[in-house]
Amino acid sequence: MTPENLKFIRKKLNLTQKQISEIVEVSDKTWQQWETGKSPMHIAFFNLLKDRVKDRIDLNILIDQKPTQKTHKIYNDYNQNQITKNAEHLAEITHSEEQKYAHLGDFKFIDLFAGVGGIRQSFENNGGKCVFSSEIDAFAKFTYYTNFGTVPFGDITKISADSIPQHDILCAGFPCQPFSHIGKREGFEHPTQGTMFHEIIRIIETRKTPVLFLENVPGLINHDDGNTLQVIIETLQDMGYKVQHTVLDASHFGIPQKRKRFYLVAFLDHNIQFEFPKPPMLFKDIGEVLETNITGYSISEHLQKSYLFKKDDGKPAIVDKNSKGAIKTLVSTYHKIQRLTGTFVKDGETGIRLLTTNECKAIMGFPEHFSIPVSRTQMYRQMGNSVVVPVVTKISEQISISLKNSKKIVKNENLEFELT
């Protein structure tokens, strides 16, 4: 029995390691060793577990139905040029294939303004299956396809809400720029991106989506003296949603980057109990994720002398393997070498370099195997615009638990009704 299967079984049973270890009469430490692969589980214990949960689930059937982790495969059937030229056709083909396996998930979700798939990665980590995705940027589409095997559909404003499959959760990291301190603070008055929230409303009006997950920059809270957020909340409440929101900092979740983001979760069913995850206050030093003896990312000596260190209005942040704490927020314009907002590494041919692809993935919480098959400039844009995966994974875990608990309550109420 593989560690992955043991974890899959426990998650499907909705049990903690302590709870499932009590079923097979071992310590929770022993179960932890089995689940992490530090020691093998004897077949006798698996047979005991199978016998004791047989009234709840058939473990043999469950293992056969376990969905494979797509993120471990790199998809390369289509290249960047093919996806750019035939995006909508390839989106139809790949979505059709993807929807064949939607029934294997614990819940179905759609991924709007999908970027490279950070939100998708997070919700799939908790048993969700994506049934629709949309992203307008051709380079982001290519990265998304390379990792998930699905080409996102394009401009959401041109997609009929009726054509979007039924789903349990709508996920949307709607465009950051209108509400960011870094970009123009234009909000709903922005001629293009400002209307994207209204596209979300258009879809949930048609599909009566049970749960919403929205992500944005924290500047959304104070934009237009708070009127923008008020419009969002009141609009959702008028549609029957119970709305909760918070701001979480990635540096409190074991990520060596100070990155605060606004998160909103809304339920149509007001009886569902949900709480945002409490920050575990896990801290990692940036030095732990830095690579050494890197070539190809260096900042020229001329640029260092003429720009990076010349002015006296402040010094850029320079880190190395011994550096402690978290770095500043990674922005999508990092490649432009902004001297006071960027963080640079003491390494490379000229002594100072930019963050590498692997380092950017690490400070955004993406797994090592996540592939970014685009230029370095596009890589910085994609990582700077993404969500931090571990933070969203924790939120999606709480959403999943809330949905499972609500189903248990319904089952118990139905049973009580039948008995009476």
Summarised one tens digit per residue, pLDDT across range 219-229 is 989 887 888 88
Residue 312 CB burial class (10 angstroms; 0-12, 13-18, ≥19): exposed
Confidence of residue 76 (pLDDT cuts 50, 70, 90): confident
> In the beta sheet, which residues pair with residue 243?
266
**Contact assessment for residue 75 and residue 145, using Cβ atoms and an 8 Å cutoff:** yes
Report the pLDDT value the prediction gives residue 65, as an integer from 0 to 100. 55
Is pLDDT at 95 greater than 50 in this prediction? Answer: yes
Is pLDDT at 184 greater than 70 in this prediction? Answer: no
In CATH, the number for domain 286-384 is 3.90.120.10
76/259 Cα distance (integer angstroms): 32
Q: 3-66: what fold?
A: 434 Repressor (Amino-terminal Domain) (1.10.260)
Radius of gyration for the chain, computed over Cα atoms and rounded to the nearest angstrom:
23
Lowest-confidence segment of 15-24, 135-144, 406-415 by average pLDDT? 406-415
Q: Kindly list the domain boundaries of the chain, sorted by start residue.
A: 3-66, 72-279+388-408, 286-384
Is pLDDT at 416 greater than 60 in this prediction? Answer: no
How many residues make up the chain in this entry? Answer: 420
The H-or-E segment that residue 128 falls in is: strand 128-133
* Residues annotated as catalytic (active site), given as ranges: 176
Mean pLDDT of 33-56: 83
300/89 Cα distance (integer angstroms): 44
Q: 234 CB contacts (<8 Å, ≥6 apart)?
A: none
Q: 71 CB contacts (<8 Å, ≥6 apart)?
A: 121, 124, 147, 148, 367, 369, 370
CATH superfamily of 72-279+388-408: Vaccinia Virus protein VP39 (3.40.50.150)
CA distances from 403 to 99, 121, 277, 343, 406 (A): 21, 19, 15, 40, 5
Report the pLDDT value the prediction gives residue 179, as an integer from 0 to 100. 40
**Contact assessment for residue 372 and residue 382, using Cβ atoms and an 8 Å cutoff:** yes
CA angle 98, 379, 374 (to 5 degrees): 65
Higher pLDDT, 84 or 195: 84
Summarised one tens digit per residue, pLDDT across range 231-245 is 899 999 999 999 999
**Contact assessment for residue 368 and residue 360, using Cβ atoms and an 8 Å cutoff:** no
Lowest-confidence segment of 300-304, 364-368, 408-412 by average pLDDT? 408-412
297/344 Cα distance (integer angstroms): 10
